Amino acid sequence: MNAQAVTSQLAIDVNSLAQTRRLAKEDPRAALKSAAQQFEAVFLQMVLKAMRDASPKEGMFDSEQSRLYQSMLDQQLAQTMSAKGSTGLAAVIERQLSLGLPPLVPGVTGKETPSPAAFPLQQNLPGNLPPAPPAPAVEAAAAAAVPAPAREFVNRLWSHANEASHATGIPAHFMIAQAALETGWGRSELRFADGAPTHNLFGIKAGRAWQGAVAEATTTEYVNGVAQKSVERFRAYASYAEAFRDYASLLSSNPRYAEVLNQQDAAGFARGLQRAGYATDPMYAAKLERIIGGAALRNGLTG
């Protein structure tokens, strides 16, 4: 696979980072170019999002679905623009990070290859081949493509998600992705009327059996596919650790979520939650699956 194949694929392809990592083993410089373009794409997407947020959202055709598809279009547009080097940011990143890669010399095949001097053979081991060139710059560029708020959100919750993972068999990053979807990476976290945190990361409502604290908030529910606003009562917790424990208890004790427990497949987890009725949003599974495959969780930010 070459760099062109990586940068020309769809923005929603959840395997892009894995492909870049495989490319790093074959051609670190091509992989660095791809990672730099991905960083530029993230930057452009943030610019487009800021522009969308500043635009009026009360048009006749404005809806949750239209905003979702607009976001997907902006993401693809950002990736296409970055592949063309529209801002020059990717070139600057590539040039700077390439300083950490070994020098190149012409090879017999006509392609540039690492200079043998860059990888001296181990002493007293005749015939030993030089080790494969490291690619720390590629990993650094991939990690840098993750916005700081998302990185901080993942790191803040990772230990609690790990604890819940032991109880449910669900990978920790699946649960963090769901918390990110429910709270907008922490930016729209449910709060009390006075602004105090509820630590409710999963949008769990307070039914009649709930004996703990409660916070009321306006939420969007879908009835027959139509979005409707309503005021609902939600559970409140003393900490994020308590929120994850209650989430794990909810999934483990309710037979509806049997197929979700011990689920190791992202699509199976997301669709299983939707089939069980966790949320009324018809796009919930697609949104969740997209976050699970996103850069913040693909890059292994584990605190």
172-215 pLDDT, tens digit per residue, is 999 999 999 999 999 999 999 999 999 999 999 999 999 999 99
Query: Does 126 map to a domain?
Result: no
Which residue among the candidates 62, 112, 216, 221 is catalytic per the annotation?
221
Indicate the number of domains in the chain: 2
Annotate 267-283 with b (16+ C-beta within 10 A) or e (fewer).
Answer: eebbbbbbebebbbbee
Which CA distances in Å does 58 have to 51, 62, 66, 74, 118? 15, 6, 12, 19, 60
Distance CA 153, CA 181 (A): 12
- Regarding whether 115 and 200 lie in a shared domain, the answer is no
Any domain includes 303: no
Report the CATH number at residue 254.
1.10.530.10
- Looking at the structure, tell me whether residues 93 and 178 fall in a common domain: no
Query: Tens-digit pLDDT profile for the chain (303 aa)?
Result: 444 444 455 555 555 666 666 666 666 677 777 777 777 777 777 777 777 666 666 666 677 777 777 777 777 777 777 777 767 777 777 777 766 555 554 444 334 444 444 444 344 444 444 444 445 554 555 555 567 888 899 999 999 999 999 999 999 999 999 999 999 999 999 999 999 999 999 999 999 999 999 999 999 888 888 888 999 999 999 999 999 999 999 999 999 999 999 999 999 999 999 999 999 999 999 999 999 988 777 654 544
For residue 127, tell me if it sits in a domain.
no
From the list 94, 139, 182, 246, the catalytic residue is 246
Name the amino acid, one letter, at 274. Q
pLDDT score, position 118: 43
Please indicate, yes or no, if residue 125 is contained in any of the structural domains.
no
The reported pLDDT for the residue numbered 89 is 75
Looking at the fold, whether 259 and 154 belong to one and the same domain comes out as yes
- Rounded to two decimals, what is the model's pTM? 0.56
Indicate if 99 and 204 belong to the same structural domain.
no
Distance CA 182, CA 200 (A): 9
In a domain, 215, yes or no: yes
For residue 79, the model assigns a pLDDT of 72
Q: Does residue 13 have an active-site annotation?
A: no
Select from 148, 40, 149 the least CA-distant residue to 87: 40
State yes or no: is 27 an active-site residue.
no
Structural domain containing residue 55: 3-120+134-144
On whether both 280 and 229 belong to a single domain, the answer is yes
Considering the domain architecture, whether residues 215 and 241 belong to the same structural domain is answered as yes
